[in-house]
């Protein structure tokens, strides 16, 4: 690998980490609350609203069922509205987040739903408001599952980010396609794969560690 190629490689790692990191944070910030809304408005939830819940569920499913590469293109006008451009890293972060938010929300929703109803009843019996129930019961009890779910989301973001080359965002996946595949630079291909494996493993192990530490059940 030449020095120039090596620099491209370092840039690509940074681009991937940036894309995954920022869209991961956005996903956490928006997908978490979305999961709370999904679970609390569901039948039997503390903010039960069946019609709203069904409608929201349908929207979430629509985003979940659209392949990412199509979402990437379809969201171009929206991306322009949010970040002012349709190419580059920031242009990729918007569709990455939009795809990951419903994904993470569904996973987190499952963790929230697994919180024992008896705990919610106990909190109600001690005079907790509905927001207090969410914050003092649902979130802490579901946290280990949510951390595990967020780990899965990050890994899936890493894999989606490989498609970000389609909007000129660069990243490891883009490098592998343009150099490793199209220019037959096998070394680049192998290096990218090795680095991706390392990143995914690091993410997974960190996530597992925290999920384990948080789980007091």
Partner 1 sequence: MTNSAATSLPAGDAGEAARTAPAQRGGRVTFDDVGRTFETPDGQVCALREVGFTVEPGEIFGIIGRSGAGKSTLIRTVNGLERPTSGKVLVEDARGGVFDVGSLTVNELTLLRRDIGMIFQHFNLLSSKTVERNVGLPLRLAGASRADEARRVTELLALVGLSDKRGRYPRELSGGQKQRVGIARALARDPGILLCDEATSALDPETTLSILALLKDINRRLGLTIILITHEMEAIRQISDRVAVIEKGRIVEIGPVWKVFGDPQQPATRALLTPHANELPDDLAGRIAPLPSSDSAPVFDIIYTGAETGEPNLGAVFDVLGHDARLLHGTLDRIQGHAQGRLLVAAPAVPAHEATHVLALLKKLPPRAEIIGYVSGSL
Contacts of 47 (CB under 8 A, 6+ apart): 37, 40, 41, 130
The residue from 66, 136, 177, 195 that contacts partner 1 (CB under 8 A) is 136
The residue from 122, 190, 194, 201 that contacts partner 1 (CB under 8 A) is 122
Q: Does 124 bind partner 1 (CB under 8 A)?
A: yes
Q: Does 21 bind partner 1 (CB under 8 A)?
A: no
Please report how close the Cβ of residue 138 comes to partner 1 at its closest, in angstroms: 10
Q: Does 119 bind partner 1 (CB under 8 A)?
A: yes
Q: Does 126 bind partner 1 (CB under 8 A)?
A: yes
Contacts 24+ apart (CB under 8 A), 57-65: 59/102, 60/34, 60/102, 60/105, 60/106, 61/102, 63/98, 63/99, 63/101, 63/102, 64/102, 64/103, 64/106
Q: Does 114 bind partner 1 (CB under 8 A)?
A: no
Stretch that binds partner 1, among 9-17, 120-128, 146-154, 195-203 (CB under 8 A): 120-128
Cα 193–chain centre separation: 21
Stretch that binds partner 1, among 37-45, 98-106, 140-148, 181-189 (CB under 8 A): 140-148
Q: Give the count of residues interacting with partner 1 (CB under 8 A).
A: 22
> Based on CB atoms, which residue is closest to partner 1, 121 or 208?
121
CA distances from 84 to 22, 81, 111, 166 (A): 17, 6, 36, 17
Tokens found for residue 142: 């579901």
Q: Does 128 bind partner 1 (CB under 8 A)?
A: yes
Q: Does 141 bind partner 1 (CB under 8 A)?
A: yes
Contacts of 102 (CB under 8 A, 6+ apart): 31, 34, 59, 60, 61, 63, 64
> Based on CB atoms, which residue is closest to partner 1, 115 or 163?
115
Contacts of 139 (CB under 8 A, 6+ apart): 36
> Based on CB atoms, which residue is closest to partner 1, 80 or 213?
213
Q: Does 121 bind partner 1 (CB under 8 A)?
A: yes
Q: Does 43 bind partner 1 (CB under 8 A)?
A: no
Q: Does 127 bind partner 1 (CB under 8 A)?
A: yes
Measured at the CA of 98, the angle between CA 62 and CA 148, to 5 degrees, comes to 95
Residues that bind partner 1 (CB under 8 A): 116, 118-119, 121-129, 132, 136-137, 140-141, 143-144, 214, 216-217
């Amino acid at each position: 690998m030449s020095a120039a190629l090596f620099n491209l490689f370092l840039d690509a790692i940074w681009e991937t980490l940036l894309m995954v990191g920022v869209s991961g944070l956005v996903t956490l910030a928006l997908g978490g609350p979305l999961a709370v809304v999904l679970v609390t408005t569901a039948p039997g939830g503390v903010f039960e609203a069946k019609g709203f819940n069904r409608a929201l569920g349908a929207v979430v499913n629509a985003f979940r069922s659209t392949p990412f590469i199509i979402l990437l293109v379809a969201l171009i006008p929206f991306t322009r509205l949010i970040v002012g451009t349709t190419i580059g890293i920031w242009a990729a972060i918007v569709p990455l987040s939009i795809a990951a938010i419903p994904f993470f929300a569904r996973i987190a929703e499952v963790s929230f739903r697994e919180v024992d109803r008896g705990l919610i009843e106990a909190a109600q019996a001690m005079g907790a408001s509905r927001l207090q129930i969410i914050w003092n019961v649902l979130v802490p009890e579901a946290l280990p599952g949510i951390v595990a779910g967020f780990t899965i989301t990050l890994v899936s973001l890493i894999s989606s980010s490989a498609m970000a080359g389609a909007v000129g965002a660069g990243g490891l996946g883009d490098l592998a396609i343009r150099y490793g595949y199209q220019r037959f630079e096998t070394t680049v291909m192998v290096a990218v794969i090795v680095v991706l494996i390392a990143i995914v493993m690091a993410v997974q192990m960190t996530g597992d560690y925290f999920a384990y530490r948080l789980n007091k059940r």
